[in-house]
Amino acid sequence: MDDFSSILNYVARHIQLTAEEEIFYISKLKIKKVRKKQFIVQPDFVCNDRTFIVKGTLRAYLVDNNGQDHTVAFGIDDWFIADFNSYFFRQPATLFVEALEESTLIQISYDDEQELLNKFPKFEKFYRIISQNGYAFLQRRILSDISLSATERYEEFVRKYPLIVARVPQYVLASYLGFSNELLSKIRNNRLKKS
């Protein structure tokens, strides 16, 4: 049971589980350990698992027709990550989801999650809350991308997510923020000169 304490604590922030619900939920979860640079989702294959990160850092990214990668999302301890379009709609994934460091994950399959939702509808509330939070985050990110300069986007990200900045390579952060590694180096150097 201790192996699942992190996800149970996360769930408890949103809904309260009975002993029966907790036991059933745990029975549907699996622990996965991944190495740095290991993929848990790849394009053209359906994403079958919703992944909760116990410990580690992952990123979801797309590779465009020119071979350029574009980081869409990060995941760190106590966050979920997947190719959600593939997961929800049972379509081939368009994203890679890659571990940026050795990571411990807890996964639930799509079919097991559907069984969980049918048996215990209170989990609908849990998934609605985390979906709402994810949607609101995505909206804030889009607004930031269209209204802030590159320097302002970087400053905002550093202020809000210092743990991610400390744990991801610079080129990955640049990819997420939507500019080149060279521009990010320049922004960081200007920032150091001002301090």
Phi/psi for 49 (5° steps) reads: -130, 140
Q: Is 169 helix (H, G, I), strand (E, B) or coil?
A: coil
Residues present in the chain in total: 195
Task: Judge whether residue 66 has pLDDT over 70.
Answer: yes
Task: Judge whether residue 157 has pLDDT over 70.
Answer: yes
129 sits in which H/E element: helix 122-147
Residue of 128, 124, 104 lying closest to 113 (CA atoms): 124
Distance separating alpha carbons of residues 43 and 47, to the nearest angstrom:
9
> For 78, which DSSP code?
T
Q: What is residue 192's predicted lDDT score, i.e. its pLDDT?
A: 80
What is the four-CA torsion angle of 94, 99, 104, 105, rounded to 10 degrees?
-10
Task: Judge whether residue 1 has pLDDT over 80.
Answer: no
Task: Judge whether residue 190 has pLDDT over 90.
Answer: no
Phi/psi for 75 (5° steps) reads: -140, 130
Residue range 167-184: mean pLDDT, rounded: 94
Give the end-to-end CA distance of the chain in Å, rounded to a whole number: 47
Q: What is residue 194's predicted lDDT score, i.e. its pLDDT?
A: 80
Best CATH choice for the domain 2-122 from the list 2.60.120.10, 3.90.550.10, 3.30.540.10, 3.30.870.10: 2.60.120.10
Mean pLDDT of the chain: 95
For residue 125 the two structure tokens come to 């509330």
Task: Judge whether residue 2 has pLDDT over 80.
Answer: no
Task: Judge whether residue 191 has pLDDT over 90.
Answer: no
- At 12, the pLDDT band (50, 70, 90 cuts) reads very high
* Per-residue pLDDT reduced to its tens digit, 107-126: 999 999 999 999 999 999 99
Distance separating alpha carbons of residues 94 and 84, to the nearest angstrom:
10
